[in-house]
Amino acid sequence: MNTPDQKITPGIGRKKLKEGLKDTIILTGLGLISCYPYFVYLWLQTPVQTIGIHLEGRDFNSFLQGEVLVVLGACFFSSLVGRFFSARYGLAGLGSFAEMFKDLKKFVLLAMILIPIFLLVLDPIIFKKMSILNPKNLWTAAGVALKSSIFEEIVLRYGVITILAGLLRRTYLAVFVGAVIATLLGVRSGFMTGMSLDPSLSLILMVIVSLLLNLLYGYLYASRGLISAMSAHLLIDLKYPLAALIG
C-alpha cells in the first residue's frame, strides 16, 4: 500500500522503452542513409571478380537489397544494444552534443595535424593497390566519410564495444579488443579490393594506423559518448573529400 508521501510515476518503464526505441530507429536510419552512396560506388567500381564472386553478373537491385538488409540489421541491433546496455557497463553511451562541443577544438586540431600526414605520407602508400577505397569523386568521397563516421561508429563502437564491455567486464579490454576487431575488418576490406595479405609496408601501415585510430574512437565512445566518437571520426575522415578536391 502506498503512503501519501510516496510518489507514483506510472508508465516510467514504458516511457524509457519508447525513448530508447526512438533513438534506436533514428540511429538505424542514419546508418542506413550514410551507407547508400558508398555501396553504389563500390558496386560500380569493384573488379569483375573479387574473392571468386563475379559481381558483374549479379543484379544490382539484388546486391543492393542484400546490403541494405545487412546494414539495417547491424545498425538496429547495435543501436538497441548500445542504447539499453551501455550505461549498465559503465560506458558513456550516446553522449550529448554539449559534451562533444567541449572537445570540438581538440578534435579539429587533431584532424588538422593528421589529415596532412595522411594525404602526403600514409595514404599514397596504404591505398597504392586498393584505390577503390579512396575514391576521387568528391561526392563519393564525402559518402565514404559519412559511412565511416556514422555506420562504423554505430556498429563497431555502440554495438561491439558495448557487448565486449559486458563480456569482459573491463572497459579498457573492451576498447582494445574492439579496436582489433575493427582493424581486422579493415584488412578484410582491403583484401577484397585488391590488397595482398603478404607482409608489405602497405599492409603494416594499414594495420598500425587503423589500430591506433580505432583505439582513439573506442576511447572517445567509452569516455565521452557515441556523438563525440562520430564527430572526431568525421573530422579526420574529411581527408577523403579533401583528397578528391586536390585530385
Q: For position 171, what pLDDT does the model report? A: 97
Provide mean pLDDT across the span 114-123. Answer: 93
Asked whether residue 2 is domain-assigned, the answer is no
Bridge-partner residues for 49, per DSSP? 54
Cα separation, 76 vs 221, whole angstroms:
18
Q: Which helix (H) or strand (E) covers residue 74, if one does? A: helix 60-85
Asked whether residue 210 is domain-assigned, the answer is yes
Burial degree of 70 (CB within 10 A; 0-12, 13-18, 19+): exposed
pLDDT confidence bin for 6, thresholds 50/70/90: very low
Q: Which helix (H) or strand (E) covers residue 184, if one does? A: helix 171-192
Task: Pick from 34-38, 197-201, 230-234 the range whose average pLDDT is largest.
Answer: 230-234
pLDDT confidence bin for 137, thresholds 50/70/90: confident
Provide mean pLDDT across the span 27-33. Answer: 94
Q: For position 196, what pLDDT does the model report? A: 64
How many domains is the chain built from? 1
Answer whether residue 79 shows pLDDT above 70. yes
Asked whether residue 183 is domain-assigned, the answer is yes
Q: For position 194, what pLDDT does the model report? A: 61
Asked whether residue 3 is domain-assigned, the answer is no
- What angle in degrees, to the nearest 10, is found between the helix axes of 12-45 and 60-85? 150
Q: For position 40, what pLDDT does the model report? A: 75
pLDDT confidence bin for 2, thresholds 50/70/90: very low
Cα separation, 40 vs 20, whole angstroms:
31
Asked whether residue 140 is domain-assigned, the answer is yes
The model carries a pTM of 0.87
Asked whether residue 7 is domain-assigned, the answer is no
Could you read off the pLDDT of 147-196 as tens digits, one per residue?
999 999 999 999 999 999 999 999 999 999 999 999 999 888 777 666 66
Range of the domain at 74: 12-246
Contacts of 199 (CB under 8 A, 6+ apart): none
| Helix/strand/coil percent split, the chain, to 5 | 75, 0, 20
Cell (9 digits) for 60: 544490382
Q: Chain centroid to CA 43: how far? A: 20
- The answer to whether the Cα torsion of 115, 122, 241, 70 is positive or negative is negative
Please list, residue by residue across 227-247, b when 16 or more beta carbons sit within 10 angstroms of its beta carbon and e when fewer do. Answer: bbbbbbbbbbbebbbbbbeee
The pLDDT mean for the chain works out to: 85
Cα separation, 41 vs 151, whole angstroms:
16
> For the ranges 45-59, 70-84, 110-124, 152-166, which has the lowest average pLDDT?
45-59
Cell (9 digits) for 64: 543492393
Asked whether residue 153 is domain-assigned, the answer is yes
Asked whether residue 6 is domain-assigned, the answer is no
Answer whether residue 126 shows pLDDT above 90. no
